[in-house]
Structure 1
Amino acid sequence: MPHLKGVKILLVDDEPNILSFLELGLQNEGFEVKTATDGITAVTLAKQFKPHIVILDVMMPGMDGFEVCRILKKTENMAVIMLTAKEEVEDRVKGLTIGADDYMIKPFSFEELLARIHARIRNHFPHLWGEVTIGPFRIDDRRKEISYHDRILELSPTEYEMLKFFVLNHGLVLSKAKILDHVWGYDFGGEDNIVEVYIRSLRQKLNDREHRLIRTLRGVGYRMDLG
């Protein structure tokens, strides 16, 4: 995962152990981190700190995460990742409906949280990326170039967007629908097998004959593994 300087993250959770664990981990990744243990403090701190990302627990005393999210999304330009121990679909739908950008169920891995943070930065604040190195890949978004093991790949614009999407979300399962939405847009009217065509081309250019880099998960989607 790349280290991104200047990215500010606000952690909001009423469990001290979770807060301290995430705070230390994210600081080690190069992020500037502030914490809050309740909703009212979170809203006040967000207006002062101006974070890029808010990692927000749903179940808190007083003002819950849903209300905090609703307030922040009305007034601030920030991405919100909601955390909850609940698995009810209704809670996830409610969070996304009021403006949350992503949703994670506790317990979760720190690596997955990092991947989701990077995805949100990529989507909301692309100017913060510039040139980044992730594993054997180097992405230069200004030149629209991707290098693999220091070799610049010859990519079409569509291949560039797809490979960048995979690299920035490595370790996460990406469905055909997600890939289509991100690379071709929501109004794409073609066949979804176009994804398979481009993945086949990317595998050839990456010399990924055994599909160890871009893995196919039958009936689910694809996942990039960097080792």
Structure 2
Amino acid sequence: MTDELKIEIENLYSTFSTYNFKSTIEGCPCCVSDTDKEKIHSKQLRELTEEDLSRYTAKAMTTWGDEDDFRHFLPRILELLSTTNFIVSTFIVLGKLEYGQWREWKENEQVAIEKFLIAWWAELIKNKNSFDHEAFIEISKLTDNIDELLKHWTIDFDNYSFANYVDFVYTYYNDLNSKRTEFKELSKETCDKILKWTKEKSNILEKGFFEYADKDKDFAERISITQYIFERT
């Protein structure tokens, strides 16, 4: 984990510390069992595990608790999302922010979430070995700041940022360049900026091919195919 992400996670805990834990959090009896309730009461906030919080995260605000309850657990939920293979999907977790109308929350809370999302994105693009399309879409929607996301996607060969670029172009470029079904939740302006940035960075592919030609022949072949994608469009 980068120092930046650590700082923003700590900032989440500090920002949302004003929302105290309630001894009783009401939940729909058809959806939330006593066992489910026991799990979120079993430990201190920072000690709650993926298993402890997965059910709550999926049901938060819809059938279990209110916005203040969600804000109490939010720092730990986002920490688990960004540092573990959290059981609950990114789409559901970040969708809860939209459901809770986070853009109407206090300004410092919005800022803390935005900074966390940017820091997490910077971590993902450099350290995850395949492009996380779901996280990219959801973070783009929430921050509405594609320029900032692309600024943090500096491409080099010392981490996974180049491999993620290749994976992105190989998997999504044709869709982004035409139908945009994989990007339908993003505005045309945002998609146009992503497409422009992707094309501008394409000159690194030739250098990348020679960088990996002897190290990883399969990946070098993928880079070659990615180059061809640009040539034929």
Same fold (TM over 0.5): no
Q: Whose strand proportion is higher, 1 or 2? A: 1
TM value normalised by structure 2:
0.31
TM value normalised by structure 1:
0.31
Larger radius of gyration: 2
Q: Whose helix proportion is higher, 1 or 2? A: 2
